[in-house]
Amino acid sequence: MRLLVVEDDPDLNRQLVDALKEAGYAVDSAADGEEGHFLGDTEPYDAVILDLGLPALDGISVLERWRQDGHKMPVLILTARDRWSDKVQGIDAGADDYVAKPFHMEEILARIRALVRRAAGHASAEIVAGPVRLDTKTSRVTVEGSPVKLTSHEFRLLSYLMHHQDRVVSRTELTEHLYDQDFDRDSNTIEVFVGRLRKKIPGDLIETVRGLGYRLTRVGDG
């Protein structure tokens, strides 16, 4: 899963990026509204954390432009605690959720997990595919109850496929959603990670659709 953080405070921006990367996400960041708008307009994100008080272009304007251009990624806005009007304006502009500053990082992580799940059609924190269970809260994967150890890239790949079960996902889409902007992307590495995953979970769960990509079969849903 790939996220965008748009926050002008350098310390808070770094803290958010570090926490999200530690939680297993690929993360891009921007320090002003113009850069944030450009990234959200040109790159595919699974969710965005957007501060409203941005230089160059304020957060409400950024959000309104995204929505006017048809971008549907979930957006979590950051607001000042005493500015209730900002919350209302943000929601009306197309935000999916908000958090007031100051906040606990765990709340941000929990809200992002929920936004990503709901955008993919999952209500529960646990996503199930046959004997494989992925706990989005703990990033724990089990097969028939036994824990499976995955690398960060293997986990991102499995998580994306499980969030989008029964849909053919192209290698290009996977590459765009698993790696941040600075990563040296090579779609061939996706095949390597799929091969590794098939050795750690039942291999027939991930179907290769020739010429199109991969599909993870939905056998059950949490």
Return the closest-CA partner of residue 93 out of 67, 113, 117, 121: 67
d(CA 18, CA 23): 9
- CB burial readout 36-67, b (16+ within 10 A) else e: bbebbeeeebbbbbbbbbbeebebbbbbebbe
Q: What is the DSSP string of 27-87?
A: EEEESSHHHHHHHHHHS--SEEEEESS-SSS-HHHHHHHHHHTT----EEEEEETT-HHHH
State residue 219's pLDDT score: 56
Q: What structural domains and CATH numbers belong to the chain?
A: 2-119 (3.40.50.2300), 126-216 (1.10.10.10)
Whether omega for the bond prior to residue 102 falls within 30 degrees of 0, making it cis, is: yes
* 136 secondary structure, DSSP code: T
One-letter identity of residue 94: G
Q: Tell me whether strands 213-216 and 26-30 are parallel, antiparallel or unpaired.
A: unpaired
Cβ contact 33:63 at 8 Å: no
Backbone φ and ψ for 107, nearest 5 degrees, come out as -70, -40
Q: What is the arrangement of strands in the sheet containing 47-51, beginning at the earlier edge strand?
A: 26-30, 2-6, 47-51, 75-80, 97-101
Expressed in angstroms, the distance from the first to the final Cα of the chain is: 19
Cβ-proximal residues to 107 (8 Å cutoff; 6+ apart), any chain: 99
State residue 183's pLDDT score: 66
Residues of the chain with confidence (pLDDT) below 50: 220-222
d(CA 133, CA 125): 10
State residue 222's pLDDT score: 40
Cβ contact 46:136 at 8 Å: no
